[in-house]
Amino acid sequence: MRLANLFRDHMVLQAEKPVRFFGFGKGEIEVRFDNKKYVGTMTTETWVFEIEAQPYGEPLTLIVRLNDDQVEFRDCVFGDVFLFAGQSNVQFSLDSETPREPVAPNDRIRYYVSDRIQSHDGLKSAAGWRVCGDETFYYWSAIAYHTSEYYWQEKGGYVGAIGCFQGGSGIRSWLPKSVLDESFTLPIEKMHGDYRNEPYCLWNHDSALYEHTFLPLVPFSFKGVIWYQGESDSTIEESKIYKEFLKRLIRTWRKDLDDEEMPFVIVQICDFVYRDDEGWKGIQKAQEEFAQENKGVFLVTSSDVCERDDIHPSNKRALSEKIKDIITKW
């Protein structure tokens, strides 16, 4: 009997929403913290143990007993947790920013990254939750950090950012096979090159990242999701069906996370001088229309604050501030 990798020292658990512990193996579970105790019996090999919503608070030690094994998780907090998901503009690290600014340590901002199929920086789920300012800091997602920093400056408390990304990933890889019916399957030659060229084809087959990177986080509670993706689905044919993929992704993720009203921010892909074409503009249009048409979905435009000559705009601060303006109202 074991917990999912997500449960580690320094973790941020979402306050004022159900708290879900999950893992593998049958047996007895007991959770203790702050003079509270919760017990249960897990009868299936994959299980979820849910306890009541908890208030925002200060660091505590959380003790979990699984059958005869007990573990203490230190410096855990109840705060606000955001899921930052998508492709390379989410993966884009603080180390890649120009200029790279020094950052003051802040133990109220914490970061966790889910497993990736390919990683060169070594910052995977095995690294656990990291506290702002530690030796891994410049590997952090720039947009996740800056958004969290702005959010903390305005709201206070503790902020957790979870990275769920893979550079060069198409939206199909983030969806379960059950929603990828033939009516929305294109011939490979009409799809973006990232679906067939190395190394991107390693993860751009149906449901690869949904299973490898997203599902290990399910059904953790979040304040909301920031979705920044679309560059790898920007052929003309793909742009015509991208809005339907967004519909299926958000519907599926809300169900998986057991939160039918989970708010989503869609970051619109930037204007890019080398892709001033119908396919690229079609993705931007699909993102804008989907946000306008769907409750609990918000659009952040990037063209007004990002460079146009780089597919990975280095100005993530201005974009993050726009995201903050939305999520602080939730």
268: phi then psi, degrees, rounded to nearest 5: -70, 135
What does pTM read for this prediction? 0.97
Query: What pLDDT, on the 0 to 100 scale, is given for residue 122?
Result: 63
Sole residue written with tokens 């855990």: 76
Between β-strands 36-42 and 224-228, what pairing exists: parallel, antiparallel or unpaired?
unpaired
CATH superfamily of the domain spanning 78-327: SGNH hydrolase (3.40.50.1110)
Ranges of H-type helices in 3-133: 88-91
Q: Where are the domains of the chain?
A: 2-77, 78-327
Ranges of H-type helices in the chain: 88-91, 142-155, 208-209, 236-256, 278-293, 316-327
Helix (H) or strand (E) holding 97: none
Buried b (16+ CB within 10 A) or exposed e, 107-134: ebbbbbbbbbeeeeeebebebbbbbbee
Query: What pLDDT, on the 0 to 100 scale, is given for residue 101?
Result: 80
User: pLDDT category, 199, cuts 50, 70, 90?
Assistant: very high
Is the CB of residue 85 less than 8 Å from the CB of residue 227? yes
User: pLDDT category, 195, cuts 50, 70, 90?
Assistant: very high
Q: What CA–CA distances, in Å, run from 326 to 47, 213, 237, 271, 319?
A: 34, 26, 31, 21, 11
117-165 confidence digits (pLDDT tens): 987 666 777 789 999 999 999 999 999 999 999 999 999 999 999 999 9
CB atoms within 10 A of CB 61: 13
237-273 confidence digits (pLDDT tens): 999 999 999 999 999 999 999 999 999 999 999 999 9
Is the CB of residue 94 less than 8 Å from the CB of residue 320? no
Q: Is the pLDDT of residue 60 over 70?
A: yes
Query: What pLDDT, on the 0 to 100 scale, is given for residue 315?
Result: 81
Cα–Cα nearest to 115, from 82, 176, 168, 164: 164
Query: What pLDDT, on the 0 to 100 scale, is given for residue 228?
Result: 98
At the second CATH level, the architecture of 2-77 is Sandwich (2.60)
Q: Is the pLDDT of residue 29 over 80?
A: yes
